[in-house]
Structures are given as structure tokens and as C-alpha cells.
Amino acid sequence: MSSLEASAEDGLPTLGHFIGGKEVSGGTRKAEVFNPATGEVSRMVSLADAATLDSAVQAAQDAYPAWRQTPPQKRAQILFRFKQLLEQHAEEICTLITLEHGKVIDDAHGELSRGIEVVEYACGISELLKGEFSKNAGPDIDSWSEFQPLGIVAGITPFNFPAMVPMWMFPLAIACGNTFILKPSERDPSASIRIARLLSEAGLPDGVFNVVNGDADTVQLILDEKRIQAVSFVGSTPIAESIYQRGTAAGKRVQALGGAKNHAVIMPDADVDNAVSALMGAAYGSCGERCMAISVAVCVGDEVADAVVARLEERIGRMKVGPGINANNDMGPLVTRAALQRVLHYLEEGQQQGAELVVDGRDLNVEGFEQGFFLGPCLFDQVTRGMSIYQDEIFGPVLCVMRVDSLQQAMELINEHEYGNGTCLFTRDGESARFFTDNIQVGMVGINVALPVPVASQSFGGWKRSLFGDLYVYGPDAIRFYTRRKTMTQRWPASKISEKTHYAFPSS
């Protein structure tokens, strides 16, 4: 009986872990997994204890020597088969995502597609791992470098992209010759187990990829495990900072991506209709539960602000909100009741602090799904920088409109904020666009592009307190993160030549 089918004491199916090529149980603690649209518990998930993690680490350690020596081209062939299987089973995976996360099924397909792009990039690992060679770097001396895997590496991923964010990490990690342990969010864990089975079906050796389900206690076990060489994390800033500090103190290589407060600046010369269309998707897609979601629209001039607010209000009124499994809906529920309550708290604070709530999503009623974690799209106007709805990452369907007099003032807002993940500028003016991209203190910038998420051959990451560590995820930075450079220098002196001893430091 697979762990997906195993019965819990309360009759609900219990999801276990994927270790050493098979699904296993492990850990006495369990957590509830909800269907956000109905508010009902759909299954239980086992939470890994120390023994469970130890078995995963041992499986990864046992698999590492042979996998490290597997030619990169053969690793790529497995990833090619994996990519095909992901495409064949896309509907199944996306349904799992929607039923546990809540996002609309089309959004789940978009998420999976972006993850598959990273798998495609990893299929070029033979080219990506090429080192450097210098012949005759000195007299009869050749020097070259190569990139060797680290060993066992781990990924700790958030609930909002249960397929894509893990695929930001493990395809390139295993392509580089590492073995991998994934700790997905306990809120929507099923997609990770299904993906693990597809990797095995693609021919990945047992133990190269393992999934341990768990919570914060499991994360601490991962950070303290000496055999794990590196940790990748995506989540909130306080947790990212904590993981970075604890992981690096334990001698691990760590990249920890944190929170965001992404601004869209709308200039007087912008195409307002197109800007509003982009804002609608960027603010309310996936119920605002994206680290690249636009949560602040900075309008340059009251005339622009009035036009943007009016158009947003009209477009919000046409949105369809309901269960994500229905592709006709534009927005689904929040992931948990706790997430819903958190956003409701911010709505109350925003009003108390003087912002104008133009659209109040609390009035929403989804017939037949009254117990679901639904909140309609919300729109604030007259937001100022001292308000908590501006300072904090709300992670919900809430868009704040701010009013400034100039591009310079808009940029000061963005540059002074503690987060620096993503931003965008809507304009027709090339000079403004060039100045903005050159001087804004943010890691990912769009011009007339609301969600400037880099393609797989680039790398994803923010500035300031949106990233802890030196390297971004996926793209070229991932190759450097999951490998160590080793440089060799060799000399084969001509035979029968007697050489003197040199005490000076060698030079060419």
C-alpha cells in the first residue's frame, strides 16, 4: 500500500515521504492538509522526525558516489525523460496543486510550465559544467578548472508554488552531480511526492532525490545535519534570515530568498488600460500569494491615480472568484484559514490608519463554498508609507495605491523599502525607463512588464532583505551554488633534465 493510500486512524489518507526510491511512512506527528475551497481536511501528512531525516540523508549519501561519477550527458538523458513525464502528467499534477493550494487550474499549469523550463535548462548540463583550460600557463605548465558537486544538498520550499519552486532547485542540483533532499510545505505536499515518483520512472537512481515532509522542527533538523552541505530556501524574510544565520553558522552554503513588497510605477505617459490589465493579473493572480505579486501601485500624479483607481474598481467588479478547479474562475481561495485571518487583520489596520478601502473583498460570498478560505480582491487608495499595509508583505489579494508627484519620489519609496525583490515601470518614455532600470535598488525589474520573472537561462533573486546569500536560484548562479571550483596545475618536465631548487614564489 502506498503512503498516499495508507489510512490514518481518522479514515483520512496519510501522505508519507519518498526516500531511497520508495514511499515510506515516518514520524509520529501528523498535520492536516486542507482543500482551501471547501475548508475541509482532505488528507493528513506525516511530519519527519530525526530518524526519518537520517534515513533520507543515508539514502542520499549511499547514492552520491555513483551519481557523482555518472557522466553529465547520462544525467541529462534522465532529465529529458523526466521533462516528458511532467508534460504527460501535467493535468494530474496541476489538479493536486489546485486542490491543496487553491489557485486556479490555469495558474497551476503556468506554474508547472515555468518549472519545466528549468528542467529544460538543466538538460544542457554538459555545456554548463564545462571548465576552463590554459595551456602553457607557465613553462611546460598547464592549468585548468572544473566544477565538482558538493554532495548532499537540501531544498526547503514554500506553499505558494509547490511544483515550480522545488524545480528551481533540484533539477540543476542533481544535474551537477549532487543528491537532493526536498522539504516541501506541509500545506500542499502531494505534488512533490508525485514528482518524485516521476523522477524514478524517468530512471533516476534510488536515493538521488528524496522528499521528507515536515514542519519547522524538520527544518531545524536539516540545518543541524552535518552531512548536508548546502540549503536552498524560499519563504518569508524572518525565516530566510534565521535559516541563513543558522545554516552558515553550521558551515553550510545557504541561499535564502525572503519576502517582497513589489511596486509598479505608472507614469503620466503610460498606456493606462494596458497597465491596469497587467496590474489585475499581477496583484490578484494566485490570490496575491506570490513573492513577485504587485502589491503597490505608485501613480505619478493625481490624474493618473484617479484613472487607475477607477479602471481597477471597474475591472475588479467583473472578476470571477471561486474554486480553482473551475477554470472559468479568475481567482481562488487563500491557502489556509490562518492566511485568510492574517489578511483580514491588515484590512482592518489599513482602514484604522486612514487608507481608503475602495473595494472591500470581505463582502464576497461564494455560493456552495461558504466554509472555504475565500476573500474577494481588495483595493486601497490614499496609502502612505507609514501604514502597515504598505510596510508589510500581506501575501493576499490586496493592492495599495500610492500617489506621488514625480518618478524621483516613486523611486525613493522603492529604494527606501526594506525589500528589493521585483518592481516595474509603465511608461512610453525610453529615457525614464533607462534611468529607472539603472538606478532602482531592486533585483528584478520590468518595463511595461508587471511580473519580471527571469527565464530559466537567467537567475532569480532580489536585493536587500529579499535575499540572504550571494547567489540567485536557477540559471547560471545555480551551477555555481551547487558546485565547487577546483583548479589543477600540472607540469611534465622533459626527461633527463636536471632542475634546480627554487625558493622564490613561483611565477610565469
Q: pLDDT at residue 471 above 50?
A: yes
Query: Residues of 131-169 as b/e, b for ≥16 C-beta within 10 angstroms?
Result: eeeeeeeeeebebeeebbbbbbbbbbbbbbbbbbbbbbb
pLDDT at 5: 41
At residue 11 the predicted structure's pLDDT band, cuts being 50, 70 and 90, is confident
Distances (CA, A) of 18 to 23, 232, 442: 4, 19, 38
Average pLDDT over residues 374-392: 98
Tally of domains in the chain: 2
Distances (CA, A) of 385 to 382, 410, 413, 416: 10, 11, 8, 10
Among 7-16, 21-30, 466-475, where is mean pLDDT lowest?
7-16
Judge if 235 and 384 occupy the same domain: no
* Rounded distance between C-alpha atoms, residue 23 and residue 196, angstroms: 9
On whether residue 500 sits in a domain, the answer given is no
Average pLDDT over residues 447-459: 96
Contacts of 65 by beta carbon, 8 Å cutoff, 6+ apart: none
Residue 235, classified by CB atoms within 10 Å of its CB into exposed (0-12), middle (13-18) or buried (19+), is: buried
- Considering the candidates 94, 123, 287, 291, report the single residue annotated as catalytic: 291
Judge if 160 and 276 occupy the same domain: no
On whether residue 501 sits in a domain, the answer given is no
Counting every residue, how long is the chain?
508
* Rounded distance between C-alpha atoms, residue 5 and residue 12, angstroms: 9
Judge if 314 and 231 occupy the same domain: no
On whether residue 225 sits in a domain, the answer given is yes
Among 86-95, 403-412, 483-492, where is mean pLDDT lowest?
483-492
Contacts of 178 by beta carbon, 8 Å cutoff, 6+ apart: 64, 67, 68, 149, 150, 151, 152, 153, 229, 482
Judge if 383 and 480 occupy the same domain: no
Judge if 273 and 360 occupy the same domain: yes
Q: Which residue has the cell 611534465?
A: 492
pLDDT at 86: 98
Average pLDDT over residues 61-80: 98
Q: Which residue has the cell 523550463?
A: 117
On whether residue 160 sits in a domain, the answer given is yes
Q: pLDDT at residue 4 above 90?
A: no
On whether residue 453 sits in a domain, the answer given is no
Can you read off the three cell numbers belonging to residue 454? 527571469
* Rounded distance between C-alpha atoms, residue 307 and residue 299, angstroms: 10
Domain containing residue 52: CATH number: 3.40.605.10
Contact 180, 229 (CB under 8 A): no
pLDDT digits (tens, 9 = 90+) for 324-356: 999 999 999 999 999 999 999 999 999 999 999
pLDDT at 401: 98
Average pLDDT over residues 239-246: 97
> C-alpha angle 323/325/328, rounded to 5°?
80
* Residue 154, beta-bridge partner list: 181, 231
User: What's the Rg (C-alpha) of the chain?
Assistant: 25
Give start and end residues of each alpha helix (H) in 269-400: 272-284, 302-316, 337-352, 388-391
At residue 508 the predicted structure's pLDDT band, cuts being 50, 70 and 90, is low
Q: Which residue has the cell 545555480?
A: 478
Q: pLDDT at residue 7 above 70?
A: no
pLDDT digits (tens, 9 = 90+) for 119-141: 999 999 999 999 889 998 888 88
* Rounded distance between C-alpha atoms, residue 260 and residue 258, angstroms: 7
Task: Tell how far CA 418 is from the center of its chain.
Answer: 19
Pairing between strand 179-183 and 209-211? parallel
Q: At how many degrees (to 10) do helices 105-122 and 164-175 cross?
A: 10
Q: Please confirm, yes or no, whether 176 is among the known catalytic residues.
A: no
* Rounded distance between C-alpha atoms, residue 260 and residue 35, angstroms: 26
Dihedral Cα 157, 451, 172, 45, nearest 10 deg:
20
On whether residue 456 sits in a domain, the answer given is no
Can you read off the three cell numbers belonging to residue 272? 493606462
pLDDT digits (tens, 9 = 90+) for 305-314: 999 999 999 9
Judge if 244 and 281 occupy the same domain: no
Domain containing residue 427: CATH number: 3.40.309.10
Query: Residues of 273-307 as b/e, b for ≥16 C-beta within 10 angstroms?
Result: eebbebbbebbbbbbbbbbbbbbbbbbbeeebbeb
Judge if 287 and 232 occupy the same domain: no
Judge if 267 and 167 occupy the same domain: no
pLDDT at 363: 87
Q: pLDDT at residue 502 above 90?
A: no
Alpha carbons within 13 angstroms on the beta-carbon side of residue 433 total: 11
On whether residue 4 sits in a domain, the answer given is no
Phi, psi dihedrals of residue 499, rounded to the nearest 5°: -110, 145
Residue-range definition of the domain harbouring residue 171: 14-258+466-486
Phi, psi dihedrals of residue 147, rounded to the nearest 5°: -115, 115
Judge if 339 and 476 occupy the same domain: no
Judge if 329 and 252 occupy the same domain: no
Q: pLDDT at residue 494 above 90?
A: no
Q: pLDDT at residue 6 above 50?
A: no
Q: Which residue has the cell 496583484?
A: 283
List of long-range contacts for 65-73, beta carbons under 8 Å, 24+ apart: 66/205, 67/174, 67/177, 67/178, 67/179, 67/205, 67/208, 68/148, 68/149, 68/177, 68/178, 70/177, 72/125, 72/126, 72/129, 72/175, 72/177, 73/126
pLDDT at 209: 98
At residue 43 the predicted structure's pLDDT band, cuts being 50, 70 and 90, is very high
Q: At how many degrees (to 10) do helices 272-284 and 302-316 cross?
A: 60
pLDDT at 349: 98
pLDDT digits (tens, 9 = 90+) for 172-202: 999 999 999 999 999 999 999 999 999 999 9
pLDDT at 10: 60
Contact 208, 63 (CB under 8 A): yes
Judge if 316 and 203 occupy the same domain: no
On whether residue 5 sits in a domain, the answer given is no
Which among 102, 79, 83, 257 is positioned nearest to 176, based on CA atoms? Answer: 79
Q: pLDDT at residue 436 above 50?
A: yes
pLDDT at 496: 66
Average pLDDT over residues 74-100: 98
Q: Is 423 helix (H, G, I), strand (E, B) or coil?
A: strand
Judge if 187 and 73 occupy the same domain: yes
